[in-house]
Each structure stands twice: as structure tokens, then as C-alpha cells.
Amino acid sequence: MKNKEKVLYITDLDGTLLRRNERISAWSCSTINRLIEKGMLFSYATARSIYTASVVSEGLVPRLPVIVNNGSFITDSVSRKRILVNQFRDEEAQDIYKILRKHDIAPLVDAIIHDREKFSYDEHAINPALADFVSSRKNDGRDNPLNDTSVILQGTVFYFTCIGEADKLKAAYEELKPVYNCIFQYDIYTNEPWLEVMPHTASKSHAILQLKELYHCDKVVVFGDGINDIPMFEIADECYAMANAIEELKQIATAVIDSNENDGVAKWLNENKG
């Protein structure tokens, strides 16, 4: 008798599993939890940190580790213990910061400092968009405003977030992308231009393949909507773009499914796994 194929299901969060209100619907949550209870191997891969991902996916109970910070970490969703960490070498962090400052960009720098995640930034150079980003995360213990930017690269740096003028961000992106994993895009909620810089080893696709190996899966099925989902679409056996996804993603998808606002991921899983 042939063994049943083990399939790993991975979804993006924003614009994919989450609705426009940045939350998972009650129906999607209960549907996916029911399928997990029946044995479905399910997790998510997101640009968010474990702190905000846990808030927006409240009620969802993935039994597998989750992929956060665009693949910088694979993290236990309950204990929040970091299972895998992709980080910059000190000289890489210094190089990136120097290039960003050359382009007149004041970044938010994510690092592990004394075993705690912190985001550091120059409190005198923060723009309104970055201020909004920071204020929405004030209560999760990571906020680290600095008067003295000589210590902005303290700890183990793993991520740079830049929100600002598109032309400056694009110029920095072009300079950094040959060496590092960089994403330039417009935020789906605010339409502000963002530049995110990660180690070249950090990506959703790499982290998904690691989960696939860890759980001895035969096949990977993914769901997404944005430009940072392209690499994971390229390594998946099946890849489904939301109706609201960018055109580039739809062109390489196995199929286009219902939108995030209409619970497209949970509907597909319910029909194909239920």
C-alpha cells in the first residue's frame, strides 16, 4: 500500500490570509484550526515579526514553527523561541548602514540585544511614516529610540526597515541588491514606499525548504499576494495567488483563487483538504 503523500501548506499573512482590517476572519480561523486538528501540516511565512504576527493571527493554532521577518527567523509560535536565525555579520551591517546613510535614509535596525529583539532608530531623524510604524508597536517591548546613533548596530543585527522617499529608497535598493536580499515595494495598507534589507540567506523560500526537510514532507503548497512571495512560489510544487495579488505573481501561479477579503485561502483548503 502506497504511503500517503505528506504536504506542507504555507500561507503569507497580509493580503493573503488576513483581511484588509489586518486580522484573520473567525471563519478562516476555525476552518484552518479544524483542518490542523485533522492532521494538516500548516504554517505561515510573513514579513512581520512574531510579535505582530501573533496579534493579527490571534486564534490560529499552527502546530508547526512559523516563518517570520521574511525568513530571517523560524520561530516556535507558542514559546516564541527562535529555532533558526539568519543574521548579518558585523561588517555587513556596517556596510548596509553606511550605504543607507549615503542615500540620506535613516533606517530602523532590528537586532537581538541581550537575547531580546529590539528595533533601534535615530529618534531625531524619524519621519512620519516610520513614526506611525513605531507607534503601532510601542507595547511589544522592542522599541529602542536612540540619541546616540553610534550604538545603532549593537547586538546581532538581522533586518533593516526603511520607509521614506521612493527615489532614495530605490537608489539604495539598486546598490544593495547584488549582495543582500532586498525588497522594495509599496505597503498594501498605507501605500508608503518601503525598503527592507535582509541577509542573503534569509528568505521565505529558504525557510520553507528547511521546514519541508524538518518534517519530511513530499510536497509544498503556498499562497501569496505580493512581490516578496515570488521566491516561495518558485520553489513550491503548487502555488496559489489571491485574486487581489500583483500581476507578476498571478502569472507564475498554479491558479488564482478568491481574494483575501473573501477568505480565499481557507476556502481552498476547505474544498481541497476538508
* Judgement on whether residues 190 and 104 belong to the same structural domain of the protein: yes
DSSP-derived 3-state class of residue 214: helix
pLDDT of residue 1: 40
Closest CA to 96 of 215, 187, 197: 197
* Judgement on whether residues 97 and 46 belong to the same structural domain of the protein: no
At 252, is the pLDDT very low, low, confident or very high (cuts 50, 70, 90)? very high
At 39, is the pLDDT very low, low, confident or very high (cuts 50, 70, 90)? very high
* Judgement on whether residues 262 and 180 belong to the same structural domain of the protein: no
| Residue 54 in domain | yes
Measured CA to CA in angstroms, residue 129 lies from 59, 112, 133, 223, 225 at distances of: 29, 24, 6, 28, 23
State which of 173, 198, 223 marks the end of a domain. 198
pLDDT of residue 238: 98
Closest CA to 51 of 130, 118, 109, 4: 118
Q: Indicate which CATH number applies to the domain containing 69.
A: 3.40.50.1000
State which of 155, 174, 198 marks the end of a domain. 198
| Residue 2 in domain | no
* Judgement on whether residues 214 and 181 belong to the same structural domain of the protein: no
Dihedral through CA 12, CA 16, CA 20, CA 22, nearest 10?
-30
* Judgement on whether residues 102 and 194 belong to the same structural domain of the protein: yes
**How remote is the C-alpha of 20 from its chain's centroid?**
17
pLDDT of residue 207: 96
pLDDT of residue 274: 56
| Residue 1 in domain | no
| Residue 246 in domain | yes
pLDDT of residue 4: 82
Is this prediction's pTM over 0.85? yes
Which strand ranges, in their side-by-side order, compose the sheet holding 156-163? Answer: 143-146, 116-122, 108-113, 156-163, 193-198, 181-186
**How remote is the C-alpha of 191 from its chain's centroid?**
17
* Judgement on whether residues 148 and 181 belong to the same structural domain of the protein: yes
What is the C-alpha to C-alpha distance for residues 252 and 248, in angstroms, rounded to an integer?
7
* Judgement on whether residues 76 and 32 belong to the same structural domain of the protein: yes
pLDDT at 205 over 60: yes
pLDDT of residue 3: 62
Q: Which residue has the higher pLDDT, 136 or 152?
A: 152
Measured CA to CA in angstroms, residue 127 lies from 105, 107, 144, 193, 217 at distances of: 10, 10, 16, 13, 45
| Across 52-73, average pLDDT | 95
| Range(s) of the domain holding residue 207 | 7-85+202-273
What is the C-alpha to C-alpha distance for residues 134 and 142, in angstroms, rounded to an integer?
9
State which of 198, 221, 255 marks the end of a domain. 198
* Judgement on whether residues 109 and 208 belong to the same structural domain of the protein: no
Rounded to 5 degrees, φ, ψ at 217 are -85, 150
Closest CA to 240 of 199, 209, 271: 271
What is the C-alpha to C-alpha distance for residues 206 and 200, in angstroms, rounded to an integer?
10
Tens of pLDDT, residue by residue over 160-177, are 999 999 999 999 999 999
Tens of pLDDT, residue by residue over 207-222, are 999 999 999 999 999 9
* Judgement on whether residues 192 and 147 belong to the same structural domain of the protein: yes
- For residues 253 and 242, the answer to whether their CB atoms sit within 8 Å is no
Tens of pLDDT, residue by residue over 110-133, are 999 999 999 999 999 989 998 898
Q: How many domains does the chain have?
A: 2
Closest CA to 203 of 158, 249, 237: 158
Q: For the residues of 62-109, what is the DSSP string, one character each?
A: -SS-EEEGGGTEEE-TTT--EEEE----HHHHHHHHHHHHHTT---EE
* Judgement on whether residues 95 and 181 belong to the same structural domain of the protein: yes
* Judgement on whether residues 207 and 178 belong to the same structural domain of the protein: no
Cell of 44: 505561515
